[in-house]
Chain A
């Protein structure tokens, strides 16, 4: 179990640029989540995948945001035309869906800290 891996750890970019983050979940985990965490706040849900299907998107996820999980393994989160308000920590988590047990806890990565200049 190598844990959830996120890349990069830090990203600094100018306003208006596009950025893409990658998340590699724990290998057997079929559920993957993206959260955003701003300073002094708890993580807020952005989107959720079961295998390759994106099953829910938060209203926080404007049309500048897009997430994919093309083969049901790693996922990418892209932000287009970044704005100052996008500065945050972006957390990825994964969990394993077992029949009859929906309480498998989520395992979190270290996050990608995005800073918009």
Chain B
């Protein structure tokens, strides 16, 4: 069974600085998808960025980028120029396309606080 591990329960970063959140996963699959979701306090989860395992190029979305190391089964999220609005829980998620379902397997999350 696949598992997702986020080893940093909490992190903080100064506004305008860069922070990296770590995520490792365990799977025997070769083709899968990885996601980072953001969950602000008392608000819904929002997709931050996604990566297809067959793509070697790391995904980027504005200030957000990933470092995808397939052999090491590592999928870290880098947030550049951190903003106060980035304060949230960040969840890493794994999805293996079918057979079967498209369910996500989530890590336990990293609580990020951006300091003014």
Q: Which positions in A face B, CB cutoff 8 Å?
A: 3-4, 31, 33, 35, 40-45, 48, 55-56, 91, 95, 102-103, 105-111
Contact = CB atoms under 8 A, between A and B. Distances in A.
Interface string B78-105: 0000000000000101010110111111
A56 B74 CA distance: 28
Given A42-B91, A42-B109, A103-B50, A110 B44 contact: yes
Given A56-B100, A56-B101, A108-B44, A103 B106 contact: no
Contacts of A110: 43-44
Contacts of A31: 102
19 contacts: A31-B102, A35-B104, A40-B109, A42-B6, A42-B93, A42-B106, A42-B108, A45-B101, A45-B103, A45-B104, A55-B100, A56-B103, A102-B102, A103-B50, A103-B97, A105-B47, A106-B104, A108-B44, A110-B43
A44 B4 CA distance: 12
A41 B107 CA distance: 8
B64 interface: no
B19 interface: no
Interface residues of B, number: 27
A14 B46 CA distance: 32
A55 B103 CA distance: 11
Nearest to B92: A42
Contact of B52 (A41, A42, A103): A103
Nearest to B103: A45
Contacts of B4: 42
Contact of B104 (A4, A40, A43): A43
